[in-house]
Amino acid sequence: MKFYYSIIVLFFSFSGYGQDNLYQFSGDIKKNIVEDTAKSGSWRSQMGATYYSISGQYKKALESWDTTFGRTKKLSADDSLKLTKLIPVNARDYILDRASDEKIIIINEAHHNASHRTFSSSLLQGLYDKGYRYLGIETLDNDDPSHTDSLQIRKFATASSGFYSREPEFGNFIYNALKIGFKLFPYEADGNGKEREIGEARNIYDFMQKNREGKYLIYCGYEHAYEGVHRSWEKTMAARLSDLTGLNPFTIDQTQFSEKSLPKYNEPLLRLVKNTEPVVLTDHNQSVYNGENKELFTDIKIIHPVTKYVKGRPDWMLRDSRKFFKLSSSALSEYPALVLAYRKGEFENNGIPADILELTDSKDSRFLILDKGNYEIVVKDRTYKVINRFDKTVK
């Protein structure tokens, strides 16, 4: 994807949308952003997708994105025959196995696709066990070093920690990394295009010079993780970091083969594989398939499965030890309602909810998906007024 990722945060900074109520009803997002005809269609698609994502609306985020960027692709008979001979291998297992011999891992995400954060979070403990100690996150605020220091002490992200990290799965990703013991650091750089790629790589390199006792996991968006020659950046952050360090990072793409809002927009390979878990594809010689583009590439590409919905929620949210918690109907005195589940003590401190549910009426699924722990459930009415708060322990 080659759109406006480097400047989207600026749009949010000046748009004024959602400043008072970060987590919004989908109807408000549609009215204030998606139907704002004063803005371009691509702007509305990206902004709508990002805000839907932040508010826990995974499917609507995909739909908003694809209103502009959805493309139907076909596969030739020869390519189809070649690809059907590839062997699916569990992506998490493959990455953790290869991580033993790597020093730097760079993995990307599509900023509107929360499932990428859930998968990346599933790697954290295994990577830590293999010596990875530092996690660089693109979205973290690096204007004030004290923000990162306080994040490290506080052990959870807040709304001021970064922009995309306000989304629940991103908040969970950061929470899990801090709980495991990772040292987090920002590396965002000013400028666009080539200037930004150079700046990001330099910021990571400078951090590495001061923090040498461990390996590095770098989390970024889209093509920052790619190696080779970019048509407008020349070299990406990943390639420039390789030049600075003399190391060849292990680069992972999650974006190309992720599901879209409709089957017709999915990559043909996704239709062929029909996997039920994230996989990479290898041939009989165990060589990994990393796409057809040999000028701009990553070492591996993850093929994420098409989402199935269980009790109305995306099945990928149930990875690891997370489980369903059904809200009692008595907790909901009126509809529509916005339900936010915060880890205990985080709501008062501007934390990020672990999960969000929008309920339009009593027939909607009332299942939150939460890890073990103590939570405060916050219920808001249509005017964003808190109408109920109660504690819940998930065992």
Token code pair at residue 297: 């590439």
On the question of pLDDT at 3 being above 60, the answer is no
Token code pair at residue 189: 């750089």
Backbone angles phi, psi at 158, to 5 degrees: -120, 175
What is the residue extent of each domain of the chain?
Answer: 8-69, 81-301, 321-394
- CA quadruple 106, 258, 5, 229: dihedral positive or negative? positive
CA distance 115 to 278: 11
Q: How far is CA 295 from CA 214, 250, 367, in A?
A: 31, 17, 45
In the CATH hierarchy, which top-level class contains the domain 81-301?
A: alpha beta
> Of all helices (H) and strands (E), which one includes residue 113?
none
Token code pair at residue 125: 């403990």
- For the chain, strand residue ranges (E) read 87-90, 104-109, 132-137, 183-186, 215-221, 227-228, 250-253, 279-282, 296-297, 300-301, 309-310, 313-314, 323-326, 337-343, 355-359, 367-370, 373-380, 386-394
Q: Report whether 281 contacts 86 (CB < 8 A).
A: yes
The model's pTM is: 0.94
Q: What is the DSSP letter of 389?
A: E
CA nearest neighbour of 168 among 392, 17, 370: 370
Q: Give the tens place of pLDDT for each residue, 277-287.
A: 999 999 988 89
CB-count burial class (<10 Å; 0-12, 13-18, 19+) for 295: exposed
**346-351 — which CB contacts under 8 Å span 24+ positions?**
346/156, 346/376, 347/376, 347/378, 347/389, 349/154, 349/156, 349/158, 350/158, 350/159, 350/160, 351/156, 351/157, 351/158, 351/159, 351/171
Token code pair at residue 318: 């149930």
pLDDT for the residue 84? 86
The overall average pLDDT reported for the chain is: 92
Q: Report whether 375 contacts 342 (CB < 8 A).
A: yes
Q: Give the tens place of pLDDT for each residue, 117-168.
A: 999 999 999 999 999 999 999 999 887 777 778 999 999 999 999 999 999 9
| Rg of the chain (C-alpha set) | 21
Q: Give the tens place of pLDDT for each residue, 326-384.
A: 999 999 999 999 999 999 999 999 999 999 999 999 999 999 999 999 999 999 999 99
DSSP 243-287: HHHS---EEEE-STTS--SSGGGS-HHHHHH--SS-EEEE-TT-P
pLDDT for the residue 20? 63
- Mean of the pLDDT values across residues 222-230? 95
Cis peptide before 336 (omega within 30 of 0): yes
pLDDT for the residue 16? 44
> Scanning the structure block, which residue is given the tokens 């030890």?
321
